[in-house]
Structures are given as C-alpha cells and as structure tokens.
Amino acid sequence: MLLVVLELIGIAVFAASGAVAAVRARLDVFGVIILALTTALGGGIIRDVLLGVHPPTSLRSWPYLLVAGVTGLVVFWYHPQVAKLRRSVLLLDAVGLGLFVTSGTTTALTLGAPPYAACLIGMTTGIGGGALRDLLLREIPLVLRREIYAVAALCGAVVVAVGEWARLPKGLVALTGASIIITIRLIALWRKWNAPVARGLDG
C-alpha cells in the first residue's frame, strides 16, 4: 500500500510539471490535461511497450489516470498557487524520479530483460514522460540539455541491476537505488550542476 501511495504521489508531481508547462505555453484545458497525462504516464507506457506488456499497466489502472487528470485540472485552475510551491515540487519530483526508475528497472529485470537493457528501460521510465512533454511543446527535452537528471536516473538503475545480479534483498536494492537518485538530483539542484556541453561553439 505504501508503494502504491508513493507511486501515486510521483504521478501527481509529474502531472503537475506537465500541466504547469502547458499553462505557460497557453494551451487550453484539454491541452493541459493531455500534457499532465503524458508527463505522468508516458515513461511507464514506453517501458511497457518495450517489454511487450499490452495494454500498458497505467492504462489498465484507473487510479493512475484519475490522479494525473485531476492534478492537471487543479493546476489549470490554481496555477499561480502551484508556482509558489516550486521547491516542494522539485523535492517530490526527485522522489518520483527515484521511485519510477527503480520500479522500471526491477520490472524489466523481472520480465527477463538483460541488465544493460533493464538499466536503459528504467532510466526511460523516469525521464520518458518529461521528454514527451517537451517534444509536444516543440522544445529540446530538458533532460538532454540541462541539469543532472538523466545521469542520476541511470546511476540508480545501474545500482538496482547490480543489486539484483548480486541477489541482494529486493527491498534494500530498490531503496538504495532510489536514495542515490534522489541524493544526486537534490545535490545537483543545490549546487546548480549541469552536464558538460561541447566547447568552442559559436553563440
């Protein structure tokens, strides 16, 4: 039950980030809800498609759709108040990233994916929704051009894969992987770390 609650919190936070981006882009209420659903559930849908799970889990579980949709509506009507909670949203976003990546990696390993593929699938589970959000808004995905986000996700996924290979307790492995992701993400935000870009570019 605790894991389900945490997953729903992660979905709500990711949905809020998508809805906020949609509001800033001046989309209508339908567009806001679509961006909220895409950001919250996109990564999990990509994971399930890659693993051959049909229909995707998030489309078979109505609470996931309900939480994401309702969050989109709340942000649409109360976006000025939501904007003031930026630090809290970033903290919860880091927690959501940790949960989604570790669960995605574990799911991939359970369904027989090799470790390297499971790591990539786990990372995609965490960052896929945000990347789809940015593409729908005709922007280069944020995870590819700023901040330590995808790198943190991949590090946590690798920890989970190594832990599973070493046959360590699944709960401990998931908790450790999520904690590493959350820690890297929060330190990167605090220190304003960004991944390096190529030097010598004009402009």
pLDDT value, residue 145: 72
Residue indicated by tokens 């590819």: 144
Query: Measured between alpha carbons, how far is 162 from 140 in angstroms, rounded to an integer?
Result: 32
> What's the predicted TM-score (pTM) here?
0.87
pLDDT above 60 (res 203): no
Per the model's pLDDT, the better-predicted residue between 140 and 118 turns out to be 118
Closest C-alpha to 39, from 61, 7, 72: 72
Q: What is the per-residue DSSP string for 69-126?
A: HHHHHHHHHHHHHHHTTHHHHHHHHHHHHHHHHHHHHHHHHHTT--HHHHHHHHHHHH
146-193 tens-digit pLDDT: 678 899 999 999 999 999 999 999 889 989 999 999 999 999 988 888
36-90 tens-digit pLDDT: 999 999 999 999 999 999 899 888 889 999 999 999 999 999 988 887 877 877 8
The neighbour count for residue 148, using CB atoms within 10 Å, is 19
104-114 tens-digit pLDDT: 999 999 999 99
> What CA–CA distances, in Å, run from 177 to 141, 159, 182?
24, 5, 9
